[in-house]
């Protein structure tokens, strides 16, 4: 092919491409004319003979005047919730790479209008700083008034007045199957409400080597963050302070609250003295049952077996020994360790108490003068 012919082909191809591009540009930039709209053309592409562009909801359809009130819990929640607070405690912890600050979420109950708040000891234990958020969104720094690890109770205080506070009821009036509500800062997400029933009463649970007595068991949902919040009855009264739950893959609905009857005197002591003063006998005991009685050759199948005895304690001065089984205390039958602990805690420091115990086949009566529990 000659050079002149090749040049002509290139010029022809270039010209053709230029004309094509010019035409496309003009087509894209020029306005598209639409066909004339007929009188029957509608903007509604899916219209049918039954559509009505002017239709509106009939007036008065927005409310249900005769709707009955099925909100059984609403009055209780409305009454109690303003007295429930969210607690955030900043705690120093130790890890692989040294110390670090961790936040612990919990709940609390306003005890009066001056800012005293009941919560769990494990919520504020070893806290470097504590903050309390009220239901209305206000946040206050809080100070510890007193704590008690034996009962897992604590009292903190904020600098505020004219606060809504909870009413307290008697847990001794509870019945199995009674409806209750658990209110608290579940999972640190704010104050929430869950409902359930009283599943069991006067329960003892071991927590971290410590035994909590007189607990209320409920199937109301209790999650981390609920600790320290109230368990309330349908009269809107606090009948417990939520504390622990059993967590396991095969366990459902086993939460526990410290009963109001157990908590009330402890809270009063924490506010008045900053600590709880317990009477002390000076023994370490174990519950006697049929299996233990058969294994140890004990002549009774219930009571509190003394396994350890502190030197120079009221128990030693009263003549008690290791291996004795306490079966009565101040006229009260002692069937297990919980009975003995509660009987001692229900006594006064300096009080002289009568104790009936079994040694071998003999039943012996003695007396002991209780003293203040030594500080740990």
Q: What pLDDT is stored for residue 60 in this prediction?
A: 64
Contact in structure between 100 and 91 (CB atoms under 8 Å): no
Q: What pLDDT is stored for residue 59 in this prediction?
A: 75
Q: Do 92 and 123 share a domain, yes or no?
A: yes
Q: From the CB of residue 102, how many other CB atoms can be counted at a distance below 10 Å?
A: 10
Query: Of residues 171, 227, 313, 347, which has the active-site annotation?
Result: 227
Q: Do 149 and 113 share a domain, yes or no?
A: yes
Binned at pLDDT 50, 70 and 90, residue 9 comes out as very low
Contact in structure between 229 and 269 (CB atoms under 8 Å): no
- Residue 44 annotated in active site: no
Q: Do 151 and 172 share a domain, yes or no?
A: no
Q: Do 97 and 137 share a domain, yes or no?
A: yes
- Residue 122 annotated in active site: yes
Task: Please report whether residue 55 resides in a domain.
Answer: no
Q: Do 191 and 176 share a domain, yes or no?
A: yes
Task: Please report whether residue 217 resides in a domain.
Answer: yes
Residue 339: give the domain boundaries: 279-372
Q: What is the number of domains present in the chain?
A: 3
Q: What pLDDT is stored for residue 252 in this prediction?
A: 63
Query: Of residues 152, 219, 324, 339, which has the active-site annotation?
Result: 152
CATH number for the domain that contains residue 152: 2.40.10.10
Q: What is the mean pLDDT of residues 127-143?
A: 96
Q: Do 136 and 185 share a domain, yes or no?
A: no
Query: Of residues 122, 151, 259, 324, which has the active-site annotation?
Result: 122
Q: What percentage of residues in the chain have a pLDDT greater than 70? A: 82
Name the domain boundary from 273, 302, 328. 273
Q: Do 153 and 182 share a domain, yes or no?
A: no
Q: What is the mean pLDDT of residues 65-74?
A: 73
The span from the CA of 83 to the CA of 52, in Å, is 53
- Residue 227 annotated in active site: yes
Would the pLDDT of 67 be above 90?
no
The predicted model scores a pTM of 0.75
Q: What pLDDT is stored for residue 244 in this prediction?
A: 78
Name the domain boundary from 252, 273, 294. 273
Q: Do 249 and 307 share a domain, yes or no?
A: no
Q: What is the mean pLDDT of residues 97-108?
A: 89
Q: What is the mean pLDDT of residues 330-357?
A: 94
Binned at pLDDT 50, 70 and 90, residue 43 comes out as low
Q: Do 365 and 289 share a domain, yes or no?
A: yes
Task: Please report whether residue 50 resides in a domain.
Answer: no
Task: Please report whether residue 5 resides in a domain.
Answer: no
Name the domain boundary from 158, 179, 197. 158
Binned at pLDDT 50, 70 and 90, residue 235 comes out as very high
* Residue among 364, 352, 273 nearest 320 (CA): 364
Q: Do 252 and 173 share a domain, yes or no?
A: yes
Task: Please report whether residue 65 resides in a domain.
Answer: no
The span from the CA of 16 to the CA of 48, in Å, is 51
Lowest-pLDDT choice from 98-107, 167-176, 324-333: 98-107
Task: Please report whether residue 26 resides in a domain.
Answer: no
Would the pLDDT of 21 be above 80?
no
The span from the CA of 325 to the CA of 307, in Å, is 9
Q: Do 283 and 331 share a domain, yes or no?
A: yes
- φ, ψ of residue 242 to 5 degrees: the values are -60, 135
Task: Please report whether residue 32 resides in a domain.
Answer: no
Quick: pLDDT tens for 250-261: 556 689 999 999
Q: How many CA atoms within 13 Å lie on the side-chain side of 328?
A: 11
Mean pLDDT over the full length of the chain:
85
Q: Do 181 and 228 share a domain, yes or no?
A: yes
Q: What is the mean pLDDT of residues 182-191?
A: 92
* Residue among 173, 333, 347, 180 nearest 265 (CA): 347
Lowest-pLDDT choice from 4-13, 26-35, 220-229: 4-13
Q: From the CB of residue 62, how many other CB atoms can be counted at a distance below 10 Å?
A: 7
Task: Please report whether residue 258 resides in a domain.
Answer: yes
């Amino acid at each position: 092919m000659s050079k002149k012919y090749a040049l002509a082909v290139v010029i022809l191809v270039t010209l053709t491409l230029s004309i094509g591009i010019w035409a496309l540009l003009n087509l894209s930039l020029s306005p598209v004319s639409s066909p004339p709209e007929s009188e029957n053309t509608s903007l509604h592409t899916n219209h049918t003979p039954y559509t009505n562009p002017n239709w509106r909801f009939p007036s008065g359809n927005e409310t249900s005047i005769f709707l009955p009130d099925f909100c059984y819990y609403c009055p209780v929640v409305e009454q109690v919730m303003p007295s429930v607070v969210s607690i955030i405690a900043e705690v120093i912890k130790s890890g692989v790479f040294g110390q670090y600050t961790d936040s612990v979420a919990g709940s609390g109950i306003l005890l009066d209008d001056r800012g005293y708040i009941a919560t769990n000891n494990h919520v504020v234990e070893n806290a470097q700083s504590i903050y309390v958020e009220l239901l209305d969104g206000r946040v206050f720094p809080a100070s510890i008034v007193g704590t008690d690890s034996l009962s897992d109770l604590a009292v903190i205080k904020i600098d505020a007045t004219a606060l809504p506070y909870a009413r307290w009821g008697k847990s001794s009036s509870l019945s199995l199957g009674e409806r209750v509500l658990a209110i608290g800062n579940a999972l640190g997400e704010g104050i929430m409400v869950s409902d359930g029933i009283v599943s069991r009463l006067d329960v003892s649970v071991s927590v971290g080597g410590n035994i909590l007595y007189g607990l209320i068991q409920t199937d109301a949902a209790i999650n981390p963050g609920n600790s320290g919040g109230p368990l309330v009855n349908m009269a809107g009264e606090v009948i417990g302070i939520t504390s622990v739950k059993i967590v396991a893959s095969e366990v459902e609905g086993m939460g526990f609250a410290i009963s109001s009857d157990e908590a009330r005197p402890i809270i009063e002591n924490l506010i008045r003295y900053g600590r709880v003063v317990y009477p002390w006998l000076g023994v370490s005991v174990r519950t006697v049952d049929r299996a233990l009685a058969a294994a140890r050759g004990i002549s009774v199948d219930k009571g509190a077996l003394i396994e350890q005895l502190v030197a120079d304690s009221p128990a030693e001065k009263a003549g008690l020994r290791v291996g004795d089984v306490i079966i009565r205390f101040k006229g009260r039958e002692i069937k297990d360790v919980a009975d003995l602990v509660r009987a001692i805690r229900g006594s006064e420091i300096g009080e002289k108490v009568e104790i009936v115990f079994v040694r071998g086949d003999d039943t012996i009566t003695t007396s002991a003068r209780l003293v203040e529990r030594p500080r740990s």
